[in-house]
Structure formats: C-alpha cells, structure tokens
Chains A and B, each alone.
Chain A
Amino acid sequence: MPVHTQFIRDKNGNLSAAGLAQVGAFFPIEVHVPPQIADVIVKAGHTVPKSVSGIGLIDTGATLTCIQEDILISLGLNPIGQVTSGTANGPRPSNVYPARIVFPTKGWTLDLGQAMGVNLAGQAIPGDPPQPIIALLGRNLLQRSVFIYNGITGFWTITLEITASSPT
C-alpha cells in the first residue's frame, strides 16, 4: 500500500508542532464521478462532468466522509442513501452519494461507497491565500488506512488501501 508523510515546517524550515495543530492533516483532492456513473453518462451520449479540486481535511470524528453537496450536485450525482446526523439544530436527514476521490499529488484513486453531502462553505485551511476545504475525510476512508498523527514533532503519515494508482 502506498504511503504519504506530510511534514509541517515553520518559515525557518523546522518541523512545527504548532503549525500542524493550526492546519491539521489535509490533502489536495479532486472529487470525481464514480466510474459506474460515468459509464451511464457516456452511454447516454453526454459528457462526464469535470472533477472539482480542493482540500480534504482528515476528520477522525466523522463516521462518513463529508463532501460539499453543491459539488456532488454539479457532478450530476444523485443520492443513493440517507443518514440522520446530529447537528447544532438537532437531528436531521442528509443525503448520501457515491463518490470517487483522487489525490492528484500522489496519483491515488479511492472509490468511496458513501459520502454525505454537507455545506462546508467558508471552511478553509489557513494560509495565503486560504485553501477551501471541500471534504472532511472520515472514518469510512480511514478504515482503509493506517494513519499516524505525530503532534509532538509536527508530521503525519497515511498508508492507504487505494482503488487505483497512476504516475504523478
């Protein structure tokens, strides 16, 4: 299984525990139409919508991976399930979609059976400029990984059981 280690460094190039605490464990990602759906779209004579890029933040508190719902809709995806989640305003149903996540800097592809549509508007990784978060990578992704968060030193490592890989 492929491995990725991300070192968080300060402006002097030293490993930064505070920097990791500030930004968390995040990955550039692309959200794609899953291949089964892409086949249907192509057979119908339509063009498969282009993937959407952004940041995926690893969230060990989330049962399912959450993706900005507007993005899932813009990809022409339809809900294939429903979950009830606790929110600040009490329990409410949310749509579940199929999705494919690609990690472009690594060439990794991961087909996620289920991703919940959420509103992540305004969420960003601090930086200049801030990078918009489009997904919270939850435990249905982490169940296919070994994830080590070294908060004392300032790095994290993930080993991921991917669906496919391609050269970067």
Chain B
Amino acid sequence: MALETEVEFYNSQKNDWLEHYEGKFALIKEKKLLGTYTTWEEAFDAGVQKLGNVPFLIKQVQEKDEVVQFPALAVGAISASSHAIHP
C-alpha cells in the first residue's frame, strides 16, 4: 500500500500535532512534516511545488478521522483497490 510510511509517521506524531496544528492540513513525505496549511488545496499546491509528481500525504490533523462512506463498496458492488505505488 502506498503512503504506509507517511501514515505510520502521522499516527506516531498525532498527539503532539493536535496541540499545535489541530484542524490544519499536514503535508508529509516519508518521516518529514513539510508544512501545515489552512486548506487542502494549499497543501496540495505546496506538495506539488516542493516534491513534484510523486506520492505524498495530505492529512488533516484531527482527533478522529472522518468516516468515509461508500455503500456501493460496502455491499460489494464495487471493490476498493489497493495498488502499491512506487515513485
């Protein structure tokens, strides 16, 4: 699965970051926080400018992640993919 390192890093830092960046959008590459931004769009533009067209993680710093619902997935009408992506 792509972004495994980034997701693990976010989870390891989450409690600290909640104190300083709650609600912001964190831009993460491997085990580095490259910045925090007010909107998702700002984080995306910064990620493309700093890193180019490679995988990176944009994650909103929040206590509980939003629940993402896809009833068509839940009933098996479609499938969630799990492609491994390598830059």
Contacts and interface: CB of A to CB of B under 8 A. Distances in A.
Nearest to B84: A95
B68 A83 contact: yes
**In this complex, which of B40, B55, B72, B77 has the most chain A Cβ atoms within 10 angstroms of its Cβ?**
B72
A41 B80 CA distance: 28
Nearest to B47: A80
Q: Is the interface of B mostly helix, strand, loop or mixed?
A: loop
Contact of A79 (B41, B55, B72): B55
A62 interface: yes
Contacts of B68: 63-64, 83-85, 116
A81 interface: yes
A40 B65 CA distance: 31
Given A78-B85, A79-B2, A117-B81, A85 B57 contact: no
Interface in A96-139: 98, 113-114, 116-121, 123, 136, 138
Nearest to A82: B3
Given A63-B68, A80-B56, A86-B74, A119 B44 contact: no
A83 B48 CA distance: 20
Given A78-B53, A86-B69, A118-B78, A93 B83 contact: no
A40 B79 contact: no
A88 interface: yes
Contact of B70 (A62, A93, A95, A98): A62
B35 to A, nearest CB: 14
Contact of A62 (B54, B69, B87): B69
A155 B79 CA distance: 29
Contact of B76 (A37, A87, A95, A114): A87
Interface in A48-77: 59, 61-64, 66, 69-70, 73, 76-77
29 contacts: A36-B48, A40-B53, A59-B72, A61-B70, A63-B68, A63-B69, A64-B68, A66-B78, A73-B83, A77-B53, A78-B85, A78-B87, A79-B2, A79-B3, A79-B55, A80-B55, A80-B58, A81-B3, A81-B59, A82-B2, A87-B73, A93-B1, A95-B83, A95-B85, A117-B83, A118-B73, A118-B79, A119-B81, A136-B70
